[in-house]
Amino acid sequence: MRSLALPAALALLSLASAAQAHPKLVVASPAPNATVAKPARVALQFSEKLMPKFSGADLMMTGHGGATHPPMKVAATTQVAPDGRTLVVVPKSPLGAGRYSVAWHVVSADTHRVSGNFAFAVK
Ligand SMILES: [Cu+2]
């Protein structure tokens, strides 16, 4: 029976880890630490479908003109795209040259909450 028990245990283990998968940030545009020309939006694509009600992102300006300043929130709207797994942040007015950070938090369909942040620059 031992030869059967081990594969069964492994199968259970992989089921368990699939059920406990957390949403991961797969790709962001602008990419973390990138310097880009004025982006019309910031898009964050996750590995799992998100619950729109509990998912969002704050866009902050953290510096410009070579100086840093305390994070200033940028007026923007945030939505989950039709694919269900991409957060799209659209600033109300075009982003000026400077440094920005994006602080995101998402809850996936299986109720796991994950948050993170990254920075980018606009030239
Ligand atoms: Cu600034």
| 120, 36 Cβ separation under 8 angstroms | yes
Is residue 30 a part of any domain in this protein? yes
Using one digit for the tens of pLDDT, what is the confidence trace for 49-83?
999 999 999 999 999 988 999 999 999 999 999 99
Any domain includes 62: yes
Q: Is the pLDDT of residue 6 over 60?
A: no
Give a yes or no: residue 16 inside a domain.
Answer: no
- Domain containing residue 118: CATH number: 2.60.40.1220
Residue 13 or 23, more confident: 23
| Residue 47: inside a domain | yes
Overall number of domains in the chain: 1
What type of residue sits at position 120? F
Domain limits at 73? Answer: 22-122
In angstroms, rounded to a whole number, what is the distance separating the alpha carbons of residues 90 and 104?
14
Q: Give me 22's structure tokens.
A: 């957390």
Of 66 and 34, more confident: 34
Which residues face 68 on adjacent strands? 63
Inside any domain, residue 11:
no
**Does residue 110 fall inside a structural domain?**
yes
What's the pLDDT at 109? 87
Q: Is residue 3 part of a domain?
A: no
Determine the distance separating the centroid of ligand 1 and the alpha carbon of 42, expressed in angstroms: 17
Domain-embedded: residue 10? no
46 alpha carbon – ligand 1 mean position (Å): 28
| pLDDT confidence band for 3 (50 / 70 / 90) | low
